[in-house]
Amino acid sequence: MRLSARPIAALVAALALTAGLFITGTPAVARPDDRAAAAEASDVSVAADTYTWKNARIDGGGFVPGIVFNRSEKNLAYARTDIGGAYRWDQAGKRWTPLLDWVDWDRWGWSGVVSLASDTAEPDNVYAAVGTYTNSWDPTNGAVLRSSDRGASWKAATLPFKLGGNMPGRGMGERLAVDPNKNSVLYLGAPSGNGLWRSTDSGVTWSEVTAFPNPGNYAQDPSDTSGYGNDNQGIVWVTFDERSGSAGSTTQDIYVGVADKENTVYRSTDGGSTWSRIAGQPTGYLAHKGVLDSSTGHLYLTLSDTGGPYDGAKGRIWRYDTESGAWTDVSPVAEADTYYGFGGISVDRQKPGTLMATAYSSWWPDTQIFRSTDSGATWTQAWDYSSYPNRSNRYTLDVSSVPWLSWGANPAPPETAPKLGWMTESLEIDPFDSDRMMYGTGATVYGTEDLTSWDSGGTFTITPMVKGLEETAVNDLASPPSGAPLLSALGDIGGFRHTDLDAVPAMMFTSPNLDSTTSLDFAEASPGTVVRVGNADSAPHIGFSTDNGANWFQGSEPSGVTGGGTVAAAADGSGFVWSPEGAGVHHTTGYGTSWTASTGIPAGATVESDRKNPKKFYGFSAGAFYVSTDGGATFTAKATGLPAEGNVRFKALPGTEGDIWLAGGAPTGAYGLWRSTDSGASFTRFSGVEQADSVGFGKAASGASYQTVFVSAKIGGVRGIFRSTDAGAGWTRINDDAHQWAWTGAAITGDPRVYGRVYVSTNGRGIQVGESSDTDGPGTDPGPGTDPGTDPGEPPADADCSVAYTVTNRWSGGFQAEVKLTNTGTAAYDGWKLGWTFPGDQRIGQIWNASHQQTGAKVTVTDAGWNGKVAPGSSAAFGFTGTTTGDGTAPGAFTLGGEACAVG
């Protein structure tokens, strides 16, 4: 299977904007240099109670094209993904920490990371070049993000062009590099013919290096007119020779890789003032990476006949002697014997002349990893044939921590399960530890901590080193009332039955194995009955389960099916309606041994079932709503005037016939949230919801008469995840600016068994699980923009309070803090005003989820309007950044409306 984050052209076009990792602490909010400060963070938006967020653990699930170790600090490493952000390695926990969860809806493309650079001179500094597509699919230009606290917070320099973290050639690199001698100087290789760019002020501003002579000319598919395959892959890597400079002075010798098969390597010997093609270089190939071993003076190139990361039929490895100018072909196999390109390459900084490389596009029978201890003169392989088709491996591969990496396969030799991987464009030897190596694949990060056993004739152990890195694209989610709490439909790896949210599932859905699951459903009154549909190279495209998704059997399908589409199960499991790609809407009784075309509904319609009446199904297409009362045999058009553009998703309320919520649309037309209580005959729009993209239901709050509604929406001018416990009369944002995950429009559902728990889809950051600190919930939620009704400084006289003040981050001259105000009384606050006095010279700079006034050391913080109502036992939270010449000591006392609060 070719697992990766594939282009989401259809998704983005439709949008018209186209492990148990527990996230707490610092909101890492980007502060773009070209935006006003007021636009940097939301001034509205906190929940009446505080939510915590984590991933439903899968561990991995997508392509990791880049791993970067810092060369001056041990155990400091970063990983980049093509659509799921960047991560920092946590050595103590042996896990990855996400760094870009703050990326918001409008700049969703910034979740694609085309390159990373870690500063050798000042290890606290890290840079990320971000942007997902260089064509029209991505609405925003790329940016270079910079952080002085290892990715805890970021600032951004928006570029005058786009970057392509999920474009062809994304495994090449690194395109972004920091001068190791003068770290205020950075270079960035740009795609699309935009050339080479340089910053001389630590990434704050950028300008083109006009002296650089070649912007590249290679495109994966010049005949493609979408701007995807025919994009010029441009400048693909930058490497410094640190020996040609000294601390504080610009490095003089710089090497640059270009996507041009005849002119793929250039050099400057005067600090970037002039550039020339290096004579004698190999031609007919693209240099995916260029790595310089400063101990030997050798520059190594891994080459392929294409840009990857999927393709590549021929490749070589060449060595350039930077002193003599001699080029040597040091490929581990003869050119005639290659059927793959070379990609990942790394040198052992502890052992001069030791290097490793990967055959990134060796899909069958497996990828190959090569190792040399004599500067490429001779090589050994991770596996060899003993007697074909049998293999002799130098390694053992233990995937017990992520067992689904075997794909449940039992292939014939020479294939194995699990495989060493595919799309292995990144491989790095720890610069401080010759025994540790990590490499990225299309599904995970593998690594070893006993690598040098390879050289002594022993075997070394490879295991997943991917905990915390969650990179799945989520298409659909379901939380049944019994059985597993969560079923997921995922791109590339199908989906899982999650019986424990904090444990990696043993295996993805099989029988059939689907490349991507596009839709799934369960029978509301019989949750053991589950159906899923998806994309595959051939039939079947549908599977059924009678034990809540634990086991599956393949279904038959109508003629002409080419893709999954959407599917719905009758409330009692007696039948199904399927709207696949390539064929019209069909219905069946039983488990799909035969299908009959439905009438009265157009092909491609989205289908769902009523959650009480097993004969009733619903459909939507192009602004019209359709209803069937005979098990999907015939449909009748009902309500019209609904969104005719963009993606539209709708759900029927469990246990109630005919109660339907519909979300969707596009900024160029109708866009919002609607409800029908008459089985789709008519819909009423929620006037306060400006935009909405997905809707789901969860357990009702204590004392509430309606199930909790969750939406991914824009309400009160703020994009976020919202909750209502009063059937949409009031809404509360339950995520925050540190937890936005770019695009969250595909699916959302609450948990029918746990109040407040919500499952949120992302396009690259896996399944986000939100847990409410209020286990029972208030009867109603505060609505955005509601009138507080009383002076915010005068809470009820019997209202008590406690305050938790946490400094979440410190840096030279500044700090970041979070404040949680909890109502410990018996009556609700109807507006609040919190006061304190800072020790020393601390001053608030940016504040979110509240407003403030400060006179000297005295601070008054007022609610943001819609978070003014705080029920007993619930909390409101806000955060801010501040300046200080001291250490940011926390205030020791707080008042609410002039009355003292407990602290802690």
Long-range pairs of 850-858 with CB within 8 A, sequence gap ≥ 24: 850/46, 850/878, 851/43, 852/880
* Phi, psi (deg, nearest 5) at residue 13: -60, -40
- Gap between the Cα atoms of 889 and 718, Å rounded: 32
> How big, in percent rounded to 5, are the helix, strand and coil portions of the chain?
5, 40, 60
Asked if 671 contacts 717 with a C-beta cutoff of 8 angstroms, the reply is no
- Gap between the Cα atoms of 464 and 402, Å rounded: 7
Give Cβ neighbours of residue 71 (< 8 Å, ≥ 6 apart).
118, 120, 180, 349, 431
Residues of the chain with pLDDT under 70: 1-49, 777-799, 866
Helix, strand, or coil here: 259? coil
CB atoms within 10 A of CB 114: 34
Q: What's 39's DSSP letter?
A: G
Most distant pair of Cα atoms in the chain: their distance: 85
Which residue reads 């003089």 in tokens? 252
- Gap between the Cα atoms of 321 and 330, Å rounded: 12
Choosing from 82, 231, 241, 515, the catalytic residue is 82
Q: How does DSSP assign 759-804, residue by residue? A: EE--BSS--EEEEES-SS--SS-PPTT----S-TT---TT--EEEE
Q: What pLDDT is stored for residue 23 in this prediction?
A: 26
Q: What pLDDT is stored for residue 850 in this prediction?
A: 83
Q: What tens digit of pLDDT does each residue of 290-305 get?
A: 999 999 999 999 999 9
Give Cβ neighbours of residue 188 (< 8 Å, ≥ 6 apart).
115, 129, 144, 175, 176, 196, 197, 198, 199, 206, 235, 238
Please work out, in degrees rounded to the nearest 5, the angle formed at the alpha carbon of residue 171 by the alpha carbons of 167 and 173: 110
Q: How does DSSP assign 187-231, residue by residue? A: EEE-STT--EEEESSTTSS-EE-TT--------S-TT--SSSTTS
Choosing from 492, 521, 659, 781, the catalytic residue is 492
Asked if 287 contacts 265 with a C-beta cutoff of 8 angstroms, the reply is yes
Single-letter residue type at 472: T
Q: What pLDDT is stored for residue 41 in this prediction?
A: 28
Q: What percent of the chain has pLDDT over 90?
A: 83
- Gap between the Cα atoms of 586 and 578, Å rounded: 5
- Gap between the Cα atoms of 2 and 536, Å rounded: 11
492 is catalytic: yes
Q: What pLDDT is stored for residue 845 in this prediction?
A: 80
Q: What pLDDT is stored for residue 855 in this prediction?
A: 80
* pTM of structure: 0.84
Q: What tens digit of pLDDT does each residue of 125-170 get?
A: 999 999 999 999 999 999 999 999 999 999 999 999 999 999 999 9
Q: How does DSSP assign 702-723, residue by residue? A: TT-SS-EEEEEEEETTEEEEEE
Question: Which two tokens mark 523?
Answer: 């029978």
Q: What pLDDT is stored for residue 49 in this prediction?
A: 55
Q: How does DSSP assign 616-662, residue by residue? A: -EEEEETTEEEEESSTTSB-EE----S--SS-EEEEEPTTSTT-EEE
How far apart, in Å, are the Cα atoms of 248 and each of 22, 172, 179, 245, 516? 40, 29, 10, 8, 51
Strand 368-372's sheet: what is its strand order? Answer: 345-347, 355-359, 368-372, 380-381
Helix, strand, or coil here: 878? strand
- The dihedral built from the CA positions of residue 852, 853, 858 and 863, taken in this order, carries a sign that is negative
Give Cβ neighbours of residue 690 (< 8 Å, ≥ 6 apart).
671, 672, 713, 714, 715, 717
Per-residue three-class SS string for 555-591: CCCCCCCCEEEEEEECCCCCEEEEEEECCCCEEEECC
Burial status of residue 882 (CB atoms within 10 A of its CB: 0-12, 13-18, 19 or more):
buried
